[in-house]
């Protein structure tokens, strides 16, 4: 989702030498394969969007994979970028790097000030390591490696597998299928009280491009909208957009995760960047994209 949004943005900006690899073409966990790729292609600018990602259930279930895969991907790419003289690298993390009970909104300086949320601790540790790798290569070797922390993302090419997905694609699919099959209820996880901030992938790509052009400092930058909603409001919104007329059934056996993770985006706003897509509009676009690509998204 993020990689394809960045490619669309670069193409819109007129770039033509965009080098990409799918995970089946290049296993980023393989050190030798990544080193060969950088030796052969010698990219100037690197957007490190690749990661093992997933929703609350996947993070909590595949704890070893979320830690190992992400550590390997980041270490291999950042080291090879240094070795081959990449001019600038942007590493993408996540808002889950912040302590579970950090004050809200989350300021960049709250990193490592408290305990992490347990459901996604392995993923968060890997992403914190990525930030620290960029900082270390900057300080020891003078590499211009920057990091940005996006909030929860959604958009085209999202993961619609209900065991692995985040809340928005999961609910789009669940409400849509319930509507089509005329089911009376849809199961929604947790209590509905956690709050989440959502950013459209095209806005994220726009912010990444902006930072690649304008930002060269060590401290990572939050990317978000600065606005959040409860999971209950989110579910009602998607229900309305999809046009499902039944009831919500809250399954409190499933975890809530972090109570709230609202980004403080004042640094990015001060630099002159702000998101463009409001949540309702973005979700309407995403539902249309889901309808157009349902066969592809649901295997
Ligand atoms: P998180 O932001 O890392 O917690 O990841 P998610 O996007 O997977 O979950 C966000 C919140 O939505 C959690 O409180 C979930 O329990 C809740 N949620 C409600 N229904 C669903 C669902 O069907 N799938 C997922 N993934 N989360 C859901």
Instruction: Taking residues 273-284, report their average pLDDT.
Output: 98
Query: For 214-235, what is each residue's pLDDT tens digit?
Result: 999 999 999 999 999 999 999 9
β-partners of residue 46 are: 89
Residues with CB under 6 A from ligand 1: 55-56, 96, 120, 152, 165-167, 170-171, 188-190, 194, 196, 231, 254-258
Is 62 a residue of the active site? no
Query: For 134-192, what is each residue's pLDDT tens digit?
Result: 999 999 999 999 999 999 999 999 999 999 999 999 999 999 999 999 999 999 999 99
Query: For 86-136, what is each residue's pLDDT tens digit?
Result: 999 999 999 999 999 999 999 999 999 999 999 999 999 999 999 999 999
Spatial distance between the Cα atoms of 238 and 244, rounded to a whole number of angstroms? 9
What are the angstrom distances between the C-alpha of 181 and each of 161, 175, 177, 185, 186?
18, 10, 6, 11, 11
CA-nearest residue, atom 12 of ligand 1: 167
Hey, which of 55, 158, 196 would you mutate to test ligand 1's pocket, going by the most ligand atoms within 8 Å of its Cβ? 55
Residue 299 has pLDDT above 90, yes or no: no
Hey, which of 54, 59, 100, 167 would you mutate to test ligand 1's pocket, going by the most ligand atoms within 8 Å of its Cβ? 167
Three-state SS at 149? strand
Residue 9 CA, chain-centre distance (Å), reads 16
CA of 255 to the centre of ligand 1 (A): 8
Q: For the chain, which domains are there?
A: 2-297 (3.40.50.720)
User: pLDDT tier at 19 (50, 70, 90 boundaries)?
Assistant: very high
Q: Which of 123, 154, 215, 287 is catalytic?
A: 123
Of the candidates 171, 205, 190, 244, the one whose C-alpha atom is nearest the C-alpha of residue 49 is 205
């Amino acid at each position: 989702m993020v990689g394809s949004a960045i490619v669309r943005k670069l193409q819109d900006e007129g770039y033509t030498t965009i080098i990409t690899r799918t995970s089946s073409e290049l296993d980023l966990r393989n050190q030798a394969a990544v080193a060969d790729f950088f030796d052969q292609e010698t990219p100037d600018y690197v957007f490190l969007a690749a990661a093992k990602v997933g929703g609350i259930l996947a993070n909590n279930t595949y704890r070893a994979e979320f830690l190992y895969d992400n550590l390997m991907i980041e270490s291999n790419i950042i080291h090879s970028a240094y070795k081959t003289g990449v001019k600038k690298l942007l590493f993408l993390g996540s808002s889950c790097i912040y302590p579970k009970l950090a004050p809200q909104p989350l300021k960049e300086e709250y990193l490592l000030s408290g305990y992490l949320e347990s459901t996604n601790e392995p993923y968060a540790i890997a992403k914190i390591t990525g930030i620290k790798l960029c900082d270390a290569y900057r300080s020891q070797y003078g590499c211009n490696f920057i990091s940005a922390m996006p909030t929860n993302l959604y958009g085209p090419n999202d993961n619609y597998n209900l065991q692995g997905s985040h809340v928005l694609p999961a609910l789009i699919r669940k409400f849509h299928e319930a509507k089509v099959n005329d089911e009376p209820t849809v199961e929604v996880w947790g209590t509905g009280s956690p709050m989440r901030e959502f950013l459209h992938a095209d806005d994220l790509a726009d912010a990444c491009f902006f930072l690649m052009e304008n930002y060269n400092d060590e401290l990572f930058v939050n990317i978000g909208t600065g606005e959040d909603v409860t999971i209950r409001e989110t579910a009602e919104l998607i229900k309305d957009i999809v046009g499902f007329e039944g009831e919500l059934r809250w399954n409190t056996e499933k975890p809530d995760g972090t109570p709230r993770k609202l980004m403080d985006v004042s640094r990015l706003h001060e630099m002159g960047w702000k998101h463009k897509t409001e949540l309702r509009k973005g979700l309407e676009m995403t539902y249309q994209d889901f309808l157009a690509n349902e066969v592809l998204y649901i295997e």
